[in-house]
Amino acid sequence: MADARKRLDPESTIGPAGAARPHDSASKHVAGEAVYIDDIPEPAGLAHACLGLSGIAHGRLIALDLEPVRAAPGVLCLLTAKDIPGQNDISSTHRHDEPVFATETVLHHGQPLFAVVAETRDQARRAALLARAEYQEAAPLLDVAAARAAGGELVTDPLKLERGDVAAALAASPRRLKGSMAIGGQDHFYLESQIALAIPGEDEDMFVASSTQHPSEVQHMVAQVLGVGSHAVTVEIRRMGGGFGGKETQANLFACVAALAARKLRRPVKLRPDRDDDMVITGKRHDFVCDYEIGFDDDGHILAVDTVYAARCGWNADLSGPVTDRALFHMDNCYFYPAVRARSEPLRTNTVSNTAFRGFGGPQGMVGAERFIEEIAFATGLDPLEVRRRNLYGGSSSSDGPGRNVTPYHQTVEDMIGGEVIAELERRCDYKARQEAVRAFNAASPIIKRGLALTPVKFGISFTATWYNQAGALVHVYTDGTVMLNHGGTEMGQGLHVKVAQVVGQAFGIGLDQIKITATTTGKVPNTSATAASSGSDLNGMAALDACETIKARLTAFAARHWQEEPAAIAFLPGRVQIGAREITFAELVQAAYMARIQLSATGFYATPKIHWDRKAGRGHPFYYFAYGAAAAEVAIDTLTGEYKVERVDILHDCGTSLNPAIDKGQIEGGFIQGMGWLTTEELVWDEKGQLRTHAPSTYKIPVASDRPRIFNVDLLENAPNREPTIHRSKAVGEPPLMLAISVLHALSDAVASVGGHRVCPRLDAPATPERVLTAVERVRAEVGR
Amino acid sequence: MRETLRFLLGDRLVEIASCDPTLTVLDWLRLDQRLTGSKEGCAEGDCGACTVVVGRLDRGALRYEAINACIRFLPTLDGCQLLTVEHLKGADGALHPVQQALVDCHGSQCGFCTPGFVMSLFALWLNEDAPGVTRIEDALAGNLCRCTGYEPIIAAAQRMYGLGQRSQERFATDRPRIASRLAALQDDATLALGSRGSRFYAPACLAALAELMLAHPDATLVAGATDVGLWVTKGMRRLSPVIALGRIEALRDLADEGDHLRIGAMVNHVDLRKALAGLSPQLDELMRRFGGEQVRNAGTIGGNIANGSPIGDLPPALIALGARLVLARRHCEERSDEAIQGDVERAPLDRFATLAMTGETDALQRRTIPLEDFFLDYRKQDRQPGEFVEAVLVPKLPTDAFFHVSKISKRFDEDISAVCGAFFLQRDAAGRISEARLAYGGMAGIPKRAKAAEAALTGRIWDEMAVSDAISALASDFQPLTDMRASAHYRLTVAGNLLRRFLIETTQTGTATRVAGLLAEADHG
């Protein structure tokens, strides 16, 4: 490995933070040598589990005949709720609403009823199909409208954000309008489906290799279902084949069932659902219905916003509370609302339990905000970008008027650079001239119409569950000067491990080839938070740096003693340590320190400062800082079929001072395309019986290579260090770029609007499939013709 | 008959005497060989994480193709070479240029899809000089990446050509040696594996196929397995006997017979595209968007037709062209099925070889029918016991005819049609429509002609009024379904609008009508 890296980039083996280093596993990825859980050499005696799923969406389970399953070839044992020694509950928010196996009531199609364990995976899959279940079916509530019609049961407490007197402000507004928008969900479609491998140990010990973003939670859940202490369970993950939020809580089920089976059989057990089962069982991005009423003036200034964000949460709460909260936290995007009321409505439905997904409700909130802007633009005849500009939060300078920088949750925006980012992107992408070119093209083209839109992003960084904003690390320095790095973050492809290694390399002045990146394990760093909310490098980078600083302080004190120098004369430089006039290698210093009995291992810890949040009052400072960006998208639509092509995208994104520009660019491009998929071709369809009909890539269409824009200019905002003292002044980058794709939805809308001379707001809902685009074209034409 | 499967895994000869006829290449690699570089992402040939490269002899020449290991049955590799991501690094551990380019361009994030991309790009590297972006996108249409957004992978596909001399590289210099090793594995004997209840045959000639078909009229015929593979991986079906067609060279014949092309049933979609592109750029574009590259390599014209899907993309186009289907079976008047069954079970090892040498075509009885008559009802075709699709006869377009085909799907590449419309118009000297063939997929249980709409056009001048009348008539031709791909309303609307597109493209050549693909690129110059 070390050799491969040297070959690849000979100049930068000493890799300070800020360098464009390749992903630490890149050479292994391309050689097929990176080990995912299903690739781990199988332990002797391995058995395979398969889940037996409900065939209805809602009802009572009257009888479950598993005898044919038990009698099937190779079957070793069965597991139902009765076989759970601990609790039959894996509710991540401790609401006791998420059984491992359904008992009397079935709440969604595909809910696990039992598991079968067999000698081979094929035998387990075949056996699971032999179960005979009898149900008393009830009408399933499948979407927001049905849930509301049935009384609107909520899975968790709703949130209300309020500032000013919205009723009075609406009444006083010269103009007002009402509308509603449907915003679709999204399957994560991580290429590696869920998987867990459980290996029983002595006593009650259980080792679980789990493809999870949250090893500590898997550890707690496994302990809970096994009825043992957390100290008996070790959870490990070297890397996931993609996560995107889909392995924040959704890995729990698979890990727990594997562990239950391993406990029962006293053999190692692996559980890997196939793609269809994975998609049918696991939660997805929440789809929302956003109802809104807006007050504004003829100049396009927003005066009041009153809105309800209703979400299809599925059969249990899971993370729907914080997800719907984050939707409200982003219903402002970059815009100041003088009076605002926003309410969430997290509805229970008989569908998969929707969960975390890159952006965590924020994207849906922001899509609403951009719809408000669009409505006003069409109502006033102003260009949407002009309406955006007129409503931006004020900067820290008070020239924008006092109080124009307070959010609906009463946090003051202290780092607003959205206006600058918009202006700079507008210049770089030549927005004005291209808008004119698009209009000219459309005038001459009766069938194909082009559209252009520029939308900004402001995304709040920190877990809104404030206690999650902590992280730990464990750094060992060995006597040869090499370093083993452990931290609580997990690698799902985002490049967290290489970024944290760069931080450690910079701290000690050593190259990445001297640092071993290890699997994340609860046995080394305990009580970790999920690698989520874009927080991975912010939290774990700081925790690792803290550990390094502890070791450096010991080494510095030792060196000062040993070589009779002032501590200030000792510096860790690239490839060497300076001690007064003398320079030695890091390895030499470490060796000397070891001989002098200096501890060469340390833990590190970090807790994000400044943040607090009072959910009941709807007030606080939930975000440490904001990440900004903007994107301009140009599309072409076919008004006969609704087909479209995203032709060009320009992006300017704020990563603060990037820890690794190559990794960050990858996050921006990948996040954008994933967001584009969400808003365009990725459509989840449930039939009237509550069966998901889009449960494999043959029916669920994520973007492919030809869907990316041919012209794709992606820049990181230059000279923009984070104003807060984050790790090397960088900014989180995992989620914010996904929302840059809202520009595509609005470019499509702009193209649709051209068929009505831009007089009618297309009100294009998401995902904007070719069918929705064509429907919008027909509707605009009909309204203009009226 | 030969009872041992033989193929090369990299450089190593693999001989397998007994295996499940539907064991997938991917399961064999991962579970049996413990070669875990190839990944399972979907087990339906749609994500490409399992992509491997297969070398086969095509009329004596070694040909390398990327395929999906997850839906390819292992015994169909008989006589081939299988290359996986594990074979690419040099003996010194150096990355292959394809791999190095991906590292250099930051082309992997989570890395799970990466081995599949490596192998798709490796096939491109083996077969083609540095291609343009459209060709790279096509070559990668069967590979899903959820992390990168593809930009760095496309960059790598361009960079890899600058990282080494293709002709000097070991896979190039090895070609003659591999070709001769594969040649040594070819024979005329039918490969027969497994036992009763789990039987696999791969005949090497038409006569042997015909014989097997009579003996096993219920056999599952496997061409590229791009659909049958899913019966196994998704439907959990146990198929027996399986008769694989891949070894029969005669079924890969593609001949220009004057006014029509005769296309063997086992001609894959890549070769078919080249042949059909010569008839019409519309067909070129249709075939470009057919599945992903791996499916285009494995899938065949015969499979696409014989499987009888209501949404297969070839039948509407072929029906509009007036294609005819050649069905063949063994002459069998004087012998009972039981007798033949007994013959096959007891067949001496050289029986089929003898048949092949004694003029196999005499042993076949054939009938030729219009393709549209083959489709009787949903998933029900006019195929007699013992019969197989041998070839498709595709008429060339008269120079004065208008032809059009449009595939409408949620995503352009690697998607299944919501609606596929293919239209043929012939006009008389007075400019009136003398013949109209309007065929649609996705509108009914089978690929079907719109007879009422055709009638509305016949005898008319090809103009807006005629099109409007044809569109009105479509409502009596079709009552399409609403499903996860599209609503009935959308299907019917688009079915009509495609006629408008056809009219515009044939009468207003300056007007842009496409947003993507070759035809759009032609629009933009």
Percent helix, strand, coil in chain A (nearest 5)? 35, 25, 40
Contact A192 B39 (CB under 8 A): yes
Residues 158-197 of A with CB under 8 A from B: 188-193
User: Contact, A723 vs A415, CB < 8 A?
Assistant: yes
Flag if B415 and A701 touch (Cβ within 8 Å). Answer: yes
Residues of B in contact with A665 (CB under 8 A): 106
Instruction: Tell me whether A288 touches chain B (CB under 8 Å).
Output: no
Please report the DSSP string for A616-647 in residue order: TTTEEE--SEEEEEEEEEEEEEETTT--EEEE
Tell if the CB–CB gap between B154 and A705 is shorter than 8 Å. Answer: yes
Cα distance between residue A235 and residue A218, in whole Å: 7
pLDDT (0 to 100) of residue B84: 98
Q: Is A447 on the interface with B (CB under 8 A)?
A: yes
Which chain A residues are within 8 Å of B198, Cβ to Cβ?
none
Amino acid in position A585: T
Chain A residues with CB-CB distance to B51 below 8 A: none
Which residues of A participate in catalysis according to the annotation? 735
Q: How high is the pLDDT of residue A1? A: 34
List the single best residue of B138, B146, B464 to mutate versus A (max A Cβ within 10 A): B146
User: Per-residue pLDDT for B339 more than 60?
Assistant: no
Distance between CA atoms of residues A630 and A626, nearest Å:
13
Cβ within 8 Å of B, A 668-707: 669-674, 681, 683, 685, 693-694, 696-699, 701-707
Tell whether the model's pLDDT for residue B341 goes beyond 80. no
- Provide the shortest C-alpha distance from residue A640 to chain B (in Å): 6
Distance CA B241, CA A323 (A): 52
Q: Which of B35, B141, B500 faces A704 most closely, judged by CB atoms?
A: B141
- Residue B410 to residue A683, Cβ atoms within 8 A: yes
- Chain B residue at shortest CA distance from A769: B410
Q: B490 contacts in A (CB within 8 Å)?
A: 642, 771, 774-775
Predicted local confidence at residue B347, as pLDDT:
44
Nearest to B460 by CA among B500, B438, B502, B432: B432
| pLDDT at site A2 | 36
Spatial neighbors of B302 by CB under 8 A, at least 6 apart, are B223, B245, B251, B264, B265, B266, B267, B389, B390, B392
The SS3 assignment for A146 reads helix
Reported as a single tens digit per residue, the pLDDT across B347-380 is 443 444 444 444 445 679 999 999 999 999 998 9
| DSSP letter for each residue of B5-47 | EEEEETTEEEEES---TT-BHHHIIIIIS---SS--S-SSSSS
Q: What DSSP designation does A741 have? A: G
* Contact check, Cβ <8 Å, A666/B504: no
Query: In this model, does residue B107 exceed pLDDT 90?
Result: yes
pLDDT, position A398 = 46
Q: Dihedral sign, CA of A246, A469, A542, A359?
A: positive
How many CA within 13 A on the CB side of residue A384? 26
Alpha-carbon distance of A736 to B122, in angstroms, equals: 34
Nearest CA distance, A771 vs chain B (angstrom) = 6
Best residue in B102, B110, B440 to probe A by mutation, most A CBs within 10 Å?
A: B110
**Chain A: closest CA distance from residue B350 (Å):** 37
Contact (CB<8Å) B43/A31: no
What DSSP element (H or E) covers A601? strand A601-607
Q: Does A736 touch chain B (CB under 8 A)?
A: no
Kind and range of the H or E element at A672? helix A661-679
Q: How far is A59 from chain B (nearest CA, A)?
A: 25
Contact criterion met (CB < 8 Å) for A697 and B44:
yes
Q: Is A703 exposed, middle or buried (0-12, 13-18, 19+ CB in 10 A)?
A: buried
Residues 227-266 of A with CB under 8 A from B: 239-244
- For residue B152, the chain A residue with the least C-alpha distance is A666
On whether the CB atoms of residues B313 and B303 are closer than 8 A, the answer is: no
CATH tag for B1-186 (out of 2.40.110.10, 3.10.20.30, 1.10.10.10, 3.20.10.10): 3.10.20.30
Which residue from A minimizes the CA distance to B157? A705
Q: Are A603 and A524 in contact (CB under 8 A)?
A: no
Helix (H) or strand (E) holding A593: helix A586-595
Mean pLDDT of B257-269: 97
Best of A3, A12, A21, A30 to disrupt the B interface (most B CBs within 10 Å) is A30
Q: Where are the domains of chain A?
A: 2-34+470-607, 420-462+620-786
| Maximum Cα–Cα distance across chain B | 73
Specify the pLDDT at position A7. 33
CA distance A421 to chain B (A): 23
CATH number for the region B187-397 comes to 3.30.465.10
List of residues 6+ apart from A385 with CB closer than 8 A:
A422, A426, A431, A453, A454
Q: From CA B522, how far away is CA B525, in angstroms rounded?
A: 5
Query: Residue B345 has what pLDDT?
Result: 46
The reply to whether ipTM tops 0.85 is: yes
Q: How far is A522 from chain B (nearest CA, A)?
A: 21
Q: Which residue of A has its CA nearest to B117?
A: A30
pLDDT digits (tens, 9 = 90+) for B7-48: 999 999 999 998 899 999 999 999 999 999 999 999 999 999
Number of CB pairs, chain A paired with chain B, less than 8 A apart? 276
Please give the residue of chain A at the shortest CA–CA distance from B235: A126
Whether A404 contacts chain B with CB within 8 A: no
Give the mutation candidate from A284, A643, A781 for the B interface (greatest B CB count, under 10 A).
A643
CATH number of the domain at A2-34+470-607, out of 3.20.20.70, 3.40.50.720, 3.40.140.10, 3.30.365.10?
3.30.365.10
Interface test with chain B among A664, A706, A708, by most B beta carbons within 10 Å: A706
Cβ pair B234:A276 closer than 8 A: yes
Query: Token pair for residue B107?
Result: 């082309």
CATH 1.10.1060.10 is right for the domain spanning B402-523:
no
pLDDT above 90 covers a percentage of chain B that reads 88
Is the pLDDT confidence value at B333 over 80?
no
Cβ contact A241–B112 (<8 Å): yes
* CB-CB contact of A92 with A253 (8 Å): no
A4: which chain B residues are within 8 Å (Cβ-Cβ)?
93, 95
A492 in contact with chain B, both atoms CB, cutoff 8 A: yes
Q: Would you report the helix, strand and coil content of chain B in percent, each value rounded to 5?
A: 40, 20, 40
Nearest CA in chain A to B288: A706
Q: Do B39 and A665 touch (CB under 8 A)?
A: no
Q: Which of A4, A698, A707 sits opposite B46 (nearest CB)?
A: A698
Out of A39-43, A305-309, B341-345, B463-467, least confident range: B341-345
Check B103 against A769: CB less than 8 A apart. Answer: no
Cα B264 from Cα B223, distance rounded (Å): 12
B411 vs A contacts (CB less than 8 Å): 681, 701, 703-704, 707
Structure tokens at A243: 């996560």
Residues A61-114 have pLDDT tens digits of 999 999 999 999 999 999 999 999 999 999 999 999 999 999 999 999 999 999
Helix (H) or strand (E) segment spanning residue B58? strand B51-58
Chain B CB contacts of A46 below 8 Å: none
CATH class belonging to A420-462+620-786: alpha beta
| Pure H helices in B111-227 | 114-127, 133-139, 151-159, 170-173, 175-185, 206-215
The domains spanning A2-34+470-607 and A420-462+620-786 adopt the same CATH topology: yes
CA distance linking residue A524 with residue B304, whole number of Å: 55
Place of tokens 């609005």: A746
Q: Give pLDDT < 70 ranges for chain A.
A: 1-15, 395-402
Q: Which residues of B touch A445 (CB under 8 A)?
A: 511-512
For chain B, the structural domain boundaries read 1-186, 187-397, 402-523
Instruction: Give the Å distances, CA to CA, from B115 to A28, A57, B50, B96, B172.
Output: 10, 38, 8, 12, 21
Q: Does A16 touch chain B (CB under 8 A)?
A: no
Helix ranges, B278-421 (H): 281-288, 293-298, 301-306, 314-321, 337-346, 351-357, 371-374
Distance, in Å, from the CA atom of B525 to the CA atom of B511, rounded to the nearest integer, reads 13
All residues of chain A having their beta carbon less than 8 Å from the beta carbon of residue B112 are: 36, 190-192, 241-242, 493
